[in-house]
Structure 1
Amino acid sequence: MSLQTVLSQHHVHLPDPLQSLAQSICQQLDEKLSADDLAVFADDAFANSVLKVCCCSQFVRDSWLRDPRLLTDLVSSGDLLSSNRNDAYRSDLLNNPADSEAALAKQLRQFRRREMVRIAWRDLAGWADLDETLSDLTALAEACIQTALDFFYQQACKRWGTPTLHNGTPFNIVVLGMGKLGAWELNYSSDIDLIFAYAEDGLLTEKKEISYGEFFTRICRSLIKVLDETTVDGFVFRTDVRLRPFGDSGPLIMTFDGMENYYLTQAREWERYAMIKARQVAGDFETGKQLAALIKPFVYRRYLDYGAFEELRSLKFQIMQELKRKDRMDNVKLGPGGIREVEFIGQAFQLIRGGQEHALQQREIQVILGVLDELKLMRADDVANLKFAYRFLRRVENHIQQYQDRQTHDLPQQALVQQILAYSLDFEDWDSFKQELDKVRKSVQAIFDQVFSLSEQDNQQQAARLVWTGVDEEQSLEYLIDQGFTDPQAVYTALQDFKTSHPVKRMTRKGAGVLDRLMPLLIERIPCVENRDVTLTRILQLFEAVAGRNVYLSLLAENPDALTQLITLSSASPWICEFMAEYPILFDELLDPRSLFEPLKKADLRRDLQRELDKVDSGDGEQLMIVLRQFKHQNLLRVAAADIVGVLPVMIVSDYLTWIAEAILEQVLERAWRILTDKHGCPPNTQADKAGGFAIVAFGKFGGIELGYASDLDLVFLYGCADGNAMTNGEKPINSGQFYLRLGQKIRHILDTKMLSGVLYECDLRLRPNGDSGLLVTHIDQYENYLRDQAWTWEHQALVRGRFVTGDLSLKAEYEAIRARILALPRDLGELKQQVREMREKMREHLDSSAAGTFDLKQSKGGIADIEFIVQFGVLAETANNSSLATYTDNVRLLEGLAAHGFIQADDAALLKKAYISYRDYGHHQVLQGESATASDAEFMELRAQVDRIWQTFME
């Protein structure tokens, strides 16, 4: 009798598209089955199910054809019709122990195939509900794991001895099952996620010395291999161990202490999410209780954990991004309204409330959904919809996988396979099934969106977070393109290189957490500037420089407005980033935009610096120098910030920078005076509380009130006393000349000593009489004699910008009188012109290093130096006739004075003033851009020509 004849006696309705498939199946089985095998069809339940099951599962059909006795054994043993088989898995394997690794591998694979055929048959025949199917699959996996572990443990103990706890009790490893295995919800063709751990470390020395760690690692490797490897008999379970601490880079197995330390100090939030379903599935269940107790506080916090919302939002966003992928639309697990969304809803409530609501500390999602209903955390109808959807989708998932025993969650694309899936789920055709599936998924997605509603701002933040994590390069690049980055690939690469840079990798766990909060904020906010690519690069270099100092990154993470200020400033100036990298304390200045963009005037600078220095012990020279440097850096940043945003014109920028230097010099002189008088006492006619008989004169840019951001200070120290040999009145007296020399040395030491916080100011003292070969400090009487009788013309030129900045006011009057007399000396104009011109030409020859096609703002023809030399020539030529020309030291007011006295035409003076200010403004901003003070040859072409014309008029 043929199989088709036997089956015709059982009225099984098949849809028309499956009729030809059924005939082919009957023909194949007829050719393969013997008369003995056909006897199983005497069981009506089995006979009624054959065509449906074999049509719906190619895997079952092929397994039967490969081993005809397989179904005979399942039916005759009663196992196929039994609903309570999972308790017998372990005993069946124990009754037939393997004597070698090869035999074990074969036994497990054959056993797995037999039981998977049984489970699929019962499911497809409609004999088993979802809970039975999931429970059987989970129990089968556990039995295979435990059997393999027992085998390798016994083999290892025979070879090396038996590990024991400190109390002498033998012990084995603990195997944690993660995901659906841990929750008794394993799907049909699932892999298994495992984590291994052992209670204590130790050393085996009975037969061959080996540590417990190496002993158990070898067992784990063998266990994974025997389960995962594909042989002629197939595989047991695909095994994944990447969820262990440190992932692929971590050890295969860790001690309980190591596990506890990792989860307390280094584990990330998503690992809490994963650990919700962790459960011991094999190994030493006595020590396993201890491990479970260690892990539980990591998963379930004692308070309402709203901090988990941040990570949940991130995970939710990643889910949403995946849903946009076309290859996810037909995925019943990861696609819209899929299984993962149902699980995510339940696990989110577990993470947030599980610490207080013990009923939520369970693993099965169906149980959790019931608890959410009981606790009124979700509406009853939403819970009912999710329960129905979960069971429906899990059946669909299992039937998809039962077709070929493949780990897939995608709906089939071939029409015949679509019909098979629909039929397996008791739908007449594909369209009716698809309508029901779409309805179910739509209801899940609606609830999911309601529970985890994200605002547009949230979406932006999570998109930025996705870019930082680097988990999906394609989506990251799409976001960067949307945000207007010029070269998204380069930006993405820069971020990933930054993340793996040495300074970042060396950060503490706390620091890395701060960076994980800060970087998405930076990525989200940086599109507020035009040059976002280069701005991001500058800030990454800054962050790399300060990576070891978490407090500064924390400041930005906790104060997004400060981060915005940094982005604005970094966009405008790489100098800002370099400056802050060198002096990170300046991060504090970003907190208050009112003070950041409003630099202090001179009186306020004096007051603030006095207040800061009053906190310093008078004898602590190092702290004094630190405070002075911090003060300079803070106020320099304020000027630069105001300059960058256009609040200050160039003339005012130089005023502010000059005021900062003056306020500092005043305090440097006063503090140096106190240090010396405390030790040596005071020179005659002076007081300990006020520097007397000493003056600091500024030259160059400082003297002309034209300081730039990187300017040094050209200084000359003068002193005045009736008798340089007169002694000071302290415990360690020295003569007055020596006292003032030491005062000058102390001032220079405070200014240019290089510390971690940098140099206060580079100090150039070469304009003193006789330059580097002259005395550091000069008596004021000798100073006038030198200027009158020995100084070169270029030294008189320098005196045009010589300005008293701090010290004894009586010396100020003397100095200014000397300056006026020297500037007013009678001079031969022809000789003066020649000397000035020759000096200018020498300067240009030695100092103009600009390349062809570039314009050195200071030294090139028609540049700043030409203007300065015209002014200096005019002052030296005209002061004898107009003493008021000795009043000012800045070039702008000197030009106005020369025009007022008829030395230069008003139009030419105005043009030189315009050129001078334009050059300086450009130069300031070149510094802020980290560039040299040069311009292209085409820049300022007309101005340069006019300056050169005026030079020719006066100097040629």
Structure 2
Amino acid sequence: WQAPRLQSLPDASRARLLSLVNLALPQVAATVKESGVGSHGATLGRLLDFLEAVARRSAYLSLLSEYPHTLERVIRMMHASGWAATFLTQHPILLDELLDDRGGIDDPAQVAASLDARLQEAEGDTERQLDILRETHHAQQFRLLALDLAGELSVERLADHLSALADVVVAATVRWAWKTVASRHVEEPRFAVIAYGKLGGKELGYVSDLDVIFLFDDEDDMAPSNYARLAQRFITWMTAHTPAGILFDIDTALRPDGASGMLVSSVAAFERYQRQSAWVWEHQALTRARFCAGDAAIGARFEAIRDAVLRQDRSSSAAELQDEVRKMRRRMHEASPNRTPLFDLKQDAGGMIDIEFIVQYLVLRHAADYPELTVNLGNIALLRIAGELGLIDPALAAAVSDAYRLMRKLQHQRRLQGQEARVEHAQVAVQAQNVLDLWQVLFA
């Protein structure tokens, strides 16, 4: 209460704040008792940080005072997740979402239509459009967070919804950023965003980066420069810090020739690179890639190129493929050493990256004979298919799938608390050993 921000409040606001804290104290105690985990001090500390951040905004204090169920929801959310507490403190406008008792998840097509209409109203005002994108994304993300913390979404379903939401935001950003390119030579850009990594595999988390590349298919002399401007503008729209926050960090390192390559590539140049120049690790990354937004015809061409590249016959270079995958995994180990006594769910041997590499290897090694392996179904489904095809032991495939599911859940739980994705070794010892057993079978 001695904080300068609180001491300088008008008497009425300070009285309302004190009343809220007195109202919250028994609710904090009841929430901690009901959950059986966590501490009164941590939950109350998060709540006080939040109240201090919004103390000068009397509308928020009034809202919490007038709608006690909203205060209760805030307390439950802050008790359940340190990350959620920080998110709400940074974006208190999301309190309005807690007043909405509809629940459920909005259809992506409806979100896209509503977002497009709001962006249309703000046409010509780029700053306002950037905020609209952020407000829409944060509101939808917050609804998912509330359902997540209520136990109504599995990690897999949550990731599907977060990925679909990101697709909507990416598509809207491409559409409206193009309208700000003064030298644009066509009304509809012949341009596509291709998703890799977590977005490509539909495993997006609340704070995941977007791994993307940009393709175009346009013979106009202005096309390369205009689409380069569009790509740069897309990155700016996504990453700019505005009063409404940030959308996503963007990583374009997976484009042809990496950081030394062009920011945008023609479809023909991309195909030539993938067939003639790409490294094995780039083909590994391609197993998780998909068309995300933009010109659907370019998306279809990308998917055809992807299938053809992944289905190349690698039987004559099987040993070389094994060796390349092993070497890349070793480099990743060395780049991210774990100097703690805990098990790193992502990076350590027997962890999630090992599982991802196993699946990528199985796709590259066997897709020539079993094209169903190139369907971007996710690691768990592809492990099951590999087991059914007899490429790996079905029981071991199921065990490794269970390991991946558990590790993703534990990682998610840790990140909700704002913690590193590391756990005691004993907590995942059996699962990690199953992963190592399958790794040994494939790469011994």
* Contact 1:803/1:889, CA 8 A, preserved across alignment: no
Question: What code does the residue aligned with 1:872 have?
Answer: Q
Q: C-alpha deviations, 1:437-492, integer Å up to 9, x for none? A: xxxxxxxxxxxxxxxxxxxxxxxxxxxxxxxxxxxxxxxxxxxxxxxxxxxxxxxx
Residue number in structure 1 paired with 2:35: none
2:15 to 513, 518, 522: 513
Structure 1 position 842 matched with structure 2 position 352: no
Q: How does 1:46-195 map to 2 (within 5 A)?
A: none
2:438 equivalent in structure 1: 950
8 Å CA contact 1:504–1:547 kept in 2: the answer is yes
Counterpart code for 1:781: A
- C-alpha distance in structure 2 between counterparts of 1:626 and 1:849, whole Å: 39
Matching residue of 1:819:
306
Q: Cα offset for 1:750?
A: 0.5
Q: Does 1:796 align with 2:283?
A: yes
Q: CA deviation at 1:559?
A: 0.9
Q: Which of 115, 126, 132 is 1:627 aligned to? A: 132
Describe the superposition over 1:28-59 as per-residue Cα deviations: whole angstroms up to 9, x where unpaired: xxxxxxxxxxxxxxxxxxxxxxxxxxxxxxxx
Whether the aligned pair in 2 keeps the contact of 1:848 and 1:856 (CA below 8 Å) is no
For residues 453-852 of structure 1, the aligned pairs below 5 Å read: 499-530=1-32, 531-595=39-103, 598-616=104-122, 618-676=123-181, 679-683=182-186, 688=187, 691-721=188-218, 723-725=219-221, 735-827=222-314, 828-851=317-340
Structure 1: how far apart are the matches of 2:443 and 2:106? 41
Task: Flag structure 1 segments of 5+ consecutive residues without an equivalent.
Answer: 1-498, 726-734
Query: Counterpart amino acid of 1:590?
Result: L
CA–CA separation in structure 1 for the residues paired with 2:120 and 2:65: 33
Contact 1:709 1:924 in 2 (8 A): no
1:155-189 residue CA offsets vs partner (Å, 9 max, x unmatched): xxxxxxxxxxxxxxxxxxxxxxxxxxxxxxxxxxx
Between the aligned partners of 1:826 and 1:705, the Cα distance in structure 2 is: 27
SS in structure 1 at match of 2:215:
strand
Counterpart of 1:939? 427
RMSD over equivalenced CA pairs, Å: 1.5
Displacement of 1:932: 1.0
Residue 508 of structure 1, CA deviation: 2.3
* 1:579 Cα offset (Å): 0.5
- Residue ranges of structure 2 left out of the alignment (5+ in a row): 33-38
CA distance in 2 between counterparts of 1:777 and 1:579 reads: 33
Query: What are the superposed Cα offsets for residues 618-651 of structure 1, whole Å, 9 maximum, x if unpaired?
Result: 1111111111111111111111111111100111
| Change beyond 3 A, Cα 1:665–1:848 | same
TM-aligned CA deviation for residue 850 of structure 1: 4.6
For 2:228, give the aligned amino acid.
L
Name the amino acid aligned to 1:708. Answer: G
Shift in alpha-carbon separation, 1:900–1:660, aligned structure 2, 3 A: same
Equivalent-residue separation in structure 1 for 2:299 and 2:147 (angstroms):
33
Once the 2 structures are TM-superposed, how far is the Cα of residue 518 of structure 1 from its aligned partner? 1.6
Partners of 2:381 and 2:363 lie apart in 1 by 12
Deviations along 1:118-141, whole A, 9 cap, x unmatched? xxxxxxxxxxxxxxxxxxxxxxxx
Whether the 8 Å CA contact 2:184–2:226 is kept in 1: the answer is no
In the alignment, the residues of structure 1 paired with residue 417 and residue 131 of structure 2 have an alpha-carbon distance, to the nearest angstrom, of: 27
CA gap 1:601/1:912 in 2 versus in 1, 3 angstroms: farther
Residue type of the alignment partner of 1:720: D
1:556-595 per-position Cα deviation (integer Å, ceiling 9, x unaligned): 1111010000111111111111011111111111212433
Q: Tell me if structure 2 keeps the 8 A contact 1:695–1:808.
A: yes
Counterpart contact for 2:280–2:324, Cα < 8 Å? yes
Q: Give the whole-Å Cα distance in 1 for the aligned partners of 2:339 and 2:165.
A: 31
| Equivalent residue letter for 2:54 | V
* Partner AA of 1:505 in structure 2: Q
Letter in 1 for 2:41: D
Matches within 5 A, 1:262-301: none
User: Is residue 650–residue 920 contact of structure 1 (8 Å, CA) maintained in 2?
Assistant: yes
Secondary structure in 1 aligned to 2:156? helix
Distance in 2, matches of 1:519 and 1:695, equals 51
Query: 2: distance between equivalents of 1:594 and 1:536?
Result: 28
Deviations 1:676-715 (A, max 9, x none): 2xx23434xxxx2xx3311110001110000011100000
Alignment check: 8 A CA contact 1:657 1:707 kept: yes
1:897 corresponding residue in structure 2: 385
Amino acid at match of 1:682: H
CA distance in 1, matches of 2:268, 2:117: 37
- Runs of at least 4 residues of structure 1 off by over 4 A? none
Identity %: 35
Structure 1 window deviating more from structure 2 (660-669 vs 539-548): it is: 539-548
Which protein is bigger by CA-based radius of gyration? 1
CA shift for structure 1 position 802: 0.6
For the 8 Å contact 1:698–1:805, the answer to whether it is kept is yes
Contact 1:753–1:759 under 8 Å retained in 2 = yes
Change (3 A) 1:948 1:640: same
AA of the residue aligned to 1:509: D
Q: Distance in 2 between matches of 1:796 and 1:743?
A: 26
1:940 counterpart SS class:
helix
Q: Distance in 1 between matches of 2:40 and 2:97?
A: 23
Measure how far apart 1:821 and its partner are.
1.0
Kept in 1, the 8 Å contact 2:17–2:51? The answer is no
Matched residues in 2 for 1:645 and 1:518: separation?
24
- Aligned mates of 2:381, 2:347 — CA distance in 1: 22
Which secondary structure does the structure 2 equivalent of 1:860 belong to?
Answer: coil
CA distance in 2, matches of 1:711, 1:840: 21
- 1:929 is matched with 417
Superposed, 1:248-267 pairs within 5 Å as none
Q: Distance in 2 between matches of 1:856 and 1:593?
A: 38
Letter in 2 for 1:903: L
Q: Give the C-alpha shift of residue 599 in structure 1.
A: 3.0
Residue 708 of structure 1 aligns to a residue in which SS?
coil
> 650-659 or 898-907, which moves further after superposition?
898-907
With over 3 angstroms needed to count, the CA separation of the structure-2 counterparts of 1:922 and 1:850, relative to structure 1, is farther
* 8 A Cα contact 1:716 1:777, kept in partner: yes
SS at match of 1:804: strand
**Does residue 868 of structure 1 match 2:374?**
no
Q: What amino acid is the match of 2:134? A: R
Q: Distance in 1 between matches of 2:89 and 2:408?
A: 26
TM-score (norm 1): 0.45
- Residue 936 of structure 1, CA deviation: 1.3
Distance 1:796 1:527 in 2: 53
